[in-house]
Amino acid sequence: MEKKIYIETYGCQMNVNDTEVIFSILARKGYARTEEMSEADVILANTCSVRDNAEQRIHGRIDVFAQQKKARPGVIVGIVGCMAERLKDKLLESGKVDIVAGPDAYRSLPRLLDAVSPGNPQIDVLLSHEETYADIAPVRIDKGGVSAFISIMRGCNNVCSYCVVPYTRGAERSRDPHSIVREACDVFSRGYRESRSCLRGWPISTRNCGCGSRPRIPRIFPMPSWKQWPRGRTSAGISICLSSRAATGCWRRCAAATRGNGTWNGWRKSVN
């Protein structure tokens, strides 16, 4: 029988995108998404640690999840994301949580789910210097089918005294630009009108496209005209930070856009 997974998402747009990645990873292992907690075999909370209030809210939700475990023995409860990375095995002390997984451990969730058993919780909070989930096609959860989040980098190297991100999401690493544009092409082919890079409050100016250039300013790449849109939708733009002040050379090396003009057709041909 098909197992169902329920995920509550807290925090920034990056967590929204991570939830979509988790759904995709677990779908490959036969887990179906549900929006009803009472139907779920697996209950996850994708968490935030930016503010104490966010963590306190999760502690309250853990008690709610525990009621589901009591009513339906066999239900698995997991805490993933930034709070999982920060608190680690402290989350297991209450006995109410079965799985703890950090932001770079989502690929290990199928293994953790297979290994978990009563009295044998599982944890993976190892941070990575390479993980970007660039090869994972997220399962989009936007009900309106209008906006889609696309992650273009992960982590941070700034280590600001007031910020927990470098400690919960690890070192900064950027996605390959071709994978970003390929994902953008995919969401627009599905009818999404707007695509947003998941970097609100994060170091956009330090994104490394891998060709040696360091992007300094975001650039809006023009989308196809309305004639090229599915179901006749109007034109729109996608904001993905792939340009620099020396954009011509960067585009030529990264996407082979003709003469570095960065047109939509140039990008589309380079990634297909």
Over range 126-141, report the average pLDDT: 93
Q: Quick one: pLDDT at residue 270?
A: 46
β pairing state of 173-174 and 153-154: antiparallel
User: If you average pLDDT over every residue of the chain, what do you get?
Assistant: 78
The most confident of 40-54, 97-111, 165-179, 236-250, by mean pLDDT: 97-111
Backbone angles phi, psi at 260, to 5 degrees: 70, 20
Window from 7-16, 134-143, 192-201 with minimum mean pLDDT: 192-201
pTM of the model: 0.78
Largest Cα–Cα separation, the chain? 64
β pairing state of 42-47 and 76-81: parallel
Over range 202-228, report the average pLDDT: 46
Over range 68-88, report the average pLDDT: 96
- pLDDT > 90 in the chain, percent: 51
Over range 38-47, report the average pLDDT: 97
Residue 200 reports pLDDT greater than 80: no
Q: Quick one: pLDDT at residue 226?
A: 40
Residue 154 reports pLDDT greater than 70: yes
3-state secondary structure (DSSP) of residue 43: strand
The pLDDT tens digits for 238-272 are 443 333 222 333 333 444 333 334 444 444 444 44
Residue 213 reports pLDDT greater than 70: no
What number of other Cβ atoms are within 10 A of residue 81's Cβ?
29
Q: Where does residue 244 fall: left (phi above 0), alpha (psi -120 to 50 degrees), or beta otherwise?
A: beta
The alpha carbon dihedral of 255, 252, 219, 201 has a sign of: positive
Q: 206: pLDDT confidence band, cut at 50, 70 and 90?
A: low
3-state secondary structure (DSSP) of residue 212: coil
Q: 210: pLDDT confidence band, cut at 50, 70 and 90?
A: low
The most confident of 42-56, 131-145, 241-255, by mean pLDDT: 42-56
How far apart are the C-alpha atoms of 65 and 10, rounded to whole Å? 15
The most confident of 90-99, 139-148, 173-182, by mean pLDDT: 90-99
Residue 90 reports pLDDT greater than 90: yes
Q: Quick one: pLDDT at residue 193?
A: 77
Beta bridge partners of 44: 7, 78
Q: Quick one: pLDDT at residue 252?
A: 38
Q: Quick one: pLDDT at residue 197?
A: 64
